Every structure is written in C-alpha cells, then in structure tokens.
Amino acid sequence: MVSNASNIFDKFKKEAIKEGLDEGKKEGKKEGMKEGMKEGKSELLIKQLIKRFNGLSDFYIENIKKLPEESIELIATNIFDLEKIEDIKKFL
C-alpha cells in the first residue's frame, strides 16, 4: 500500500517536473525569437544606413546593435528624413 502511494507520488512528481521543463522551454524559445527579431531588425537597419550614406563607422554599428527595438524601428521609420549620418546621434 505504501509503495503504491509512493509510485503515484513519483508519477505526479515526474509529471510536474516535465510540465515545468516544458514551460521553461516555451519561455526560452519565446525569448530567443524575440532576441532574433531584434537582431534581424538592427542588421537590416545597418545595411540600409550603409547604402544610404555609402558606409557606416563601427561607432554607429555597435551603438545601433545596443539600441532597444523601439529605437531601431524609429530610426528605420525616419531613415528618409536623415540628411547626414550624424543625424542618427539623436536616437542613440
């Protein structure tokens, strides 16, 4: 009787651990996708700025990669309003 209760407890414990791992995997996957999207947006913006200004210094590249996603989107939205590369400084 005790071993049967122990087996049931072990089964519930294993299921709870599995559910916890599944939730952790889902959260990790979600976080990874979010980071990947941000990286992709910053890389695309960098390519656009390189084409627009015939190059881009490492200073701007590194700072753009550090920006939050909202700032990256703001620069991309305003890219045609930028007259010179230094105009990006107001977003950094």
- pLDDT tens digits along 42-72: 999 999 999 999 999 999 999 999 999 999 9
Tell me, what's the pLDDT at 51? Answer: 96
Q: Which of 15, 23, 18, 60 is closest to 42 using CA atoms?
A: 60
Q: Please, which pLDDT band fits residue 29 given cuts at 50, 70 and 90?
A: confident
Given 3-state DSSP classes, what are the helix, strand and coil percentages for the chain, each rounded to the nearest 5? Answer: 85, 0, 15
Q: Which domain holds residue 36?
A: 2-91
Q: Which of 48, 70, 46 is closest to 58 using CA atoms?
A: 46
Say if residue 21's pLDDT is above 70: no
The count of domains in the chain is 1
What pTM was computed for the model?
A: 0.71
Average pLDDT, the chain: 86
7 conformational bin, left if phi > 0, alpha if psi -120 to 50, beta if neither: alpha
